[in-house]
Amino acid sequence: MIRPPLPRWVRAGALLAVIFLGVPIIGVLVRIPWAEVPRLLSAPASLDALGLSLATCLAATVASVLLGLPLALVLSRGTGRVTVALRTLTALPMVLPPVVAGLALLVTLGRRGVVGQHLSVLGIEIGFTTLAVVIAQTFVSMPYFVVSVEAALRGTDPGLERVASQLGAGPTTVLRRVTLPLLAPALIGGATMAFARALGEFGATLTFAGSLQGRTRTLPLEIYLLRESDTDAALALALVLIVVAATLMALTTWLTRTSAAARA
């Protein structure tokens, strides 16, 4: 069904929004010294940041999927107050200032933290390590995966799972053979969003993991340090983030449309 046309003022407002969002990105692209990009990206500090970001973001995405999928499945089937409380807790890292998220992790898992002080006795140090980077990225990115998958679960037809169960399939079989295949686009889209969020994480990482080259200095941290001393290098690294983020968001949009078309 074709919808009626929108008022002109709505289109004008949309154009202003596009300009507001697009001009800064165009400004970065105009300012980048394109001829120097290969040299700038091949600098040792840049390669360390790129490699560390890729490794930690992949680890954070895997952790988000492994931990977030069971949570999304539970939330999608709940309706009571406990579910509301769990959903609120799950979404909280999405709206918390990143530095607050990092502080929460530090006072919990740091050397003198509520849990970290007991781990230190056992010789386990988490704060200001590469593991701390992965934990910080997972903490802020997993909610995006959970919210995406839960929304998809609530939009699926429960009758398919019910039929499979009535035919004798156990809960695990129903999940593996019916539920997860139906969720495939949402799983990929949610994981993509989690990876993109982890890749751009800054405040929580800096607060909980610090900025040690080769260990905890991810791409956003390297850009922050270079923004005054070497603006061209900072812009070259920013280009990497822009390209990756745009690609991931385009993939997420395509998967969302594909899933919606399949359900229709």
Break the chain into its structural domains and give their ranges.
40-263
Distance CA 52, CA 163 (A): 46
Per-residue burial over 131-145, b = 16 or more CB atoms within 10 Å of its CB, e = otherwise: bbbbbbbbbbbbbbb
pLDDT band at 258 (very low <50, low <70, confident <90, very high): confident
To which residue do tokens 């993991």 refer?
209
Condensed to tens digits (0 to 9), the pLDDT of residues 86-130 reads: 999 999 999 999 999 999 999 999 999 999 999 999 999 999 999
Cα 262 from chain centroid (whole Å): 25
Condensed to tens digits (0 to 9), the pLDDT of residues 33-84 reads: 999 999 999 999 999 999 999 999 999 999 999 999 999 999 998 888 899 9
Any idea which of 123-132, 147-156, 167-176, 249-258 has the lowest mean pLDDT? 249-258
Condensed to tens digits (0 to 9), the pLDDT of residues 179-211 reads: 898 888 889 989 999 999 999 999 999 999 999
User: Which residues touch 244 (CB under 8 Å, ≥6 apart)?
Assistant: 196, 199
Radius of gyration of the chain (CA): 22
Q: What average pLDDT is seen over the chain?
A: 91
The whole-number pLDDT of residue 17 equals 97
Residue 221: C-alpha distances to residues 61, 207, 237 (Å): 19, 11, 11
Distance CA 140, CA 103 (A): 13
CATH architecture of 40-263: Orthogonal Bundle (1.10)
The whole-number pLDDT of residue 262 equals 61
Whether pLDDT at 137 is above 80? yes
Backbone angles phi, psi at 255, to 5 degrees: -65, -40
Cα 155 from chain centroid (whole Å): 22
Instruction: Please tell me whether residue 25 adopts helix, strand or coil conformation.
Output: helix
How many CB atoms lie under 10 A from the CB of residue 224? 15
The whole-number pLDDT of residue 38 equals 94
How many CB atoms lie under 10 A from the CB of residue 111? 13
Whether pLDDT at 228 is above 90? no
Q: Where are the alpha helices (DSSP H) in the chain?
A: 8-31, 37-41, 44-77, 81-95, 98-109, 116-121, 130-155, 158-166, 171-174, 180-199, 203-209, 219-229, 231-263
The whole-number pLDDT of residue 261 equals 65
- Inter-residue contact 28 to 237 (CB < 8 Å): no
Question: Is the alpha carbon torsion for 248, 252, 257, 262 positive or negative?
Answer: positive
Instruction: Please tell me whether residue 169 adopts helix, strand or coil conformation.
Output: coil
The whole-number pLDDT of residue 171 equals 87
pLDDT band at 165 (very low <50, low <70, confident <90, very high): confident
